[in-house]
């Protein structure tokens, strides 16, 4: 993660992530060293989560709901239609953290799909390369601020 990447979080999501970080740091501080492989694996996993939380909480945009202007941007719940005729999909353009936004699917602003959509207005078409190199076309059907979906 780079320092220039903007992280958008709801106030509730920010509070939950901050609480989780404090809990994990306290757990780590209270542990006695061990050579047990399971313990070491759990500690590595916890340390990775601590680093991710610290990065995300470093300088986030908190609770500033984007304007309801139909433009796809972080903090918006978007509905898209794929040119291949599949069903419409709805998701939040935000950091992927299921504990933060459990009521809606998440699509990271760094994903190819999101990059094709950010800045688009309702009805505009974007193109991106899917894993495996397949070219995809997607239309923005709707974009509303998180919480108004």
Block means of pLDDT (10 residues each) for the chain, 149 residues, are 58 86 90 78 92 88 79 92 87 72 80 94 94 92 84
Q: Which helix (H) or strand (E) holds 61?
A: strand 61-62
User: Considering only CA atoms, which of 114, 116, 135, 133 is closest in space to residue 125?
Assistant: 116
The pTM assigned to this predicted structure is 0.65
Domain 76-145, architecture per CATH: Roll (3.10)
In angstroms, the CA 110 to CA 60 distance is: 15
Residue with tokens 């709801």: 10
């Amino acid at each position: 993660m780079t320092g220039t990447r903007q992280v958008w979080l709801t106030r509730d999501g920010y509070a939950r992530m901050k609480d989780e970080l404090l809990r994990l740091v306290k757990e780590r501080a209270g542990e006695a060293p061990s050579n047990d492989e399971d313990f070491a694996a759990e500690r590595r996993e916890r340390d990775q989560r601590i680093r991710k939380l610290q990065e995300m909480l470093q300088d986030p945009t908190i609770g500033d709901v984007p304007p309801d202007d139909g433009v796809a941007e972080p903090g918006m719940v978007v509905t898209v239609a794929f040119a291949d005729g599949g069903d419409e999909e709805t998701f939040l353009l935000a950091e992927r953290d299921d504990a933060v936004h459990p009521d809606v699917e998440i699509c990271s602003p760094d994903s190819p799909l999101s990059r094709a959509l950010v800045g688009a207005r309702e009805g505009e078409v974007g193109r991106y390369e899917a894993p495996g190199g397949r070219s995809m076309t997607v239309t923005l059907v709707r974009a509303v601020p998180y919480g108004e979906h």
